[in-house]
Amino acid sequence: MSGETGSKGGAAPPFPRANPDLAGHGWAEQRFLAAWRSGRLPHAWLIYGPPGIGKATFAFRAARFALSGGGAGGGGGLFADGPVESLAVATDHPVFRRVASGGHGDLMTLERGFVKEKNGKDDDGDTDPRDRKRRTVIRVDEVRAAGHFLRMTPAEGGWRVVVVDCADDLNPNAANALLKMLEEPPDRALLLLVSHAPGRLLPTIRSRCCRLALKPLSEDLVLGLIGRYRPDLAHADAVALARLGEGSIGRALALAEEGGLDLYREMVALMARLPAPAPGVHALGDRLGRQGAEAEAAFRTAIGLLAWWVSRLVREGARGRESAPVVPEEEGLGARLLAAGGVDRWMEVWEKITRLTDQTDGLNLDRKQVVLNVFHALGEAARA
């Protein structure tokens, strides 16, 4: 999403590098500001938390702040009347504009590149971006290029900044190359690492970074952001999406765009009939098993929502209380199924869904059969 008027009538959220707003993470800003004011700013920061809560937005916000000399001339700083209170840099500041366009000479972003197309063109050519496919990893040569970039003299006499979005995508060789950069940081160099799952990173990478754990956003805040970006949605739908998002505005908006709420309602109706088999399962499997990118995307959304629903059921069983239903039709369903199967049995179902999801990618399993197998496992647990 680019920040232009959205297809549903709202203003789509800008990309993180062009987003001037940060919601719900003021404490993290204050911690970065305190380190900046101390004159001993750590050279590497690990910004982690669930996907879609604003981690990359925070990283680019901090990058703009550093590249502007602490917000000087835009949002506070050296030429402001008082102390800087946030990392905000005005949208009309030259640094903001150059970072947003990807044209700042002292900023480099490490992210998964694009696979070279059959015609030999890639992200440097004129291939339609919609036809390009991202690589699955960040490669070692890209990290080494970033290391060379950081050792160069800053073009504007300030900082050199590298944003890694996200560090989870580093392959093993790239992770080791990044570790070497962290062990021998050049002067006036700043590395901002975004991570959804910091436990998967090398312990030595984590230990050499100042860590900022960003928390999920409040449901009310997510609901307000949905209202800003998707004003076309009915209030009940916005509330349901906020609950499905579990503190992630990115997840909530993605589900809205993908038709995830309609899929969720359909699957709740099927689960409400458990342990009795529902004829609608075959129709759902037929639809999700069709050829084409749209059906494949719907399948991934559906299986992801089923895995999330079962994991929430397990959490509810472990703590002995039921969460607020996402949709009214869900009222009491979790309690009934927990009473039938127990926490351990539903944990096995979650593990099976996760395993089938992985095998669908690795072994190219038939998607309809995966859907049928998942609902069979749900039925067996409800019958126990």
pLDDT tens figures, 93-111: 999 999 999 999 999 999 9
**124-139 b/e with 16+ CB inside 10 Å = b?**
eeebeeeebeeeebbb
* pLDDT in the model for residue 9: 56
Question: DSSP characters for 28-61?
Answer: HHHHHHHHHHHT---SEEEEE-STTSSHHHHHHH
Tell me the residue ranges of DSSP E strands in 251-364: none
* R_g (Cα) of the chain, nearest Å: 23
How many Cα atoms sit within 13 Å of 341 on the Cβ side?
Answer: 26
pLDDT the model gives residue 321: 86
Residues 29, 212: Cα–Cα separation, whole Å:
10
Give mean pLDDT, residues 167-178.
97
Token pair for 312 = 């929430």
- pLDDT score for 379: 95
d(CA 264, CA 306): 8
Residue 209, both tokens: 């970074």
Does the structure show a pLDDT above 50 at 130? Answer: no
Strands 107-110, 44-48: pairing is: unpaired
Residues with Cβ < 8 Å from 248, sequence gap 6 or more? 50, 51, 52, 53, 216, 217, 222
Q: What distance separates the 2 farthest-apart alpha carbons in the chain? A: 70
| The pLDDT of residue 285 is above 80 | yes
Residues 251 and 242: their CA atoms lie apart, in Å, by 9
Task: With cut-offs at 50, 70 and 90, classify the pLDDT of residue 352.
Answer: very high
Q: Which residue has the tokens 């060789």?
A: 173
Which CATH superfamily groups domain 16-213? P-loop containing nucleotide triphosphate hydrolases (3.40.50.300)
pLDDT band per the 50, 70, 90 thresholds, residue 71 = low
Specify the pLDDT at position 332: 93
What value does the mean pLDDT take over residues 282-299? 95
C-alpha distance from residue 232 to each of 256, 379, 383 (Å) = 11, 36, 41
Reduce the DSSP state of residue 369 to 3 states and report it: helix
Torsion angle (degrees, nearest 10) of CA 166, 167, 170, 172: -170
pLDDT of res. 1: 38
> Given pLDDT bands bounded at 50, 70 and 90, which one contains residue 81?
very low
| Residue 14 per-residue DSSP state | P
**Is residue 127 pLDDT above 90, yes or no?**
no
Task: Burial-class residue 175 by CB neighbours within 10 Å (0-12, 13-18, 19+).
Answer: buried
Question: What does the pLDDT average to over 121-147?
Answer: 74
Average pLDDT over residues 197-202: 96
SS3 189: strand
Q: Which amino acid is at 258?
A: E
Domain boundaries, the chain: 16-213, 259-383
Structure-block tokens of residue 91: 């949208």
Q: Which pLDDT belongs to residue 11?
A: 67
pLDDT at 13: 84
Tally DSSP H helices, then E strands, for the chain: 14, 5
**Whether the predicted pLDDT of 350 surpasses 70:** yes
Residue 134 has what DSSP assignment?
A: B
Is 91's pLDDT higher than 60?
yes
Report residue 74's pLDDT band, with 50, 70 and 90 as the boundaries.
Answer: very low
Place of tokens 């805040």: 221
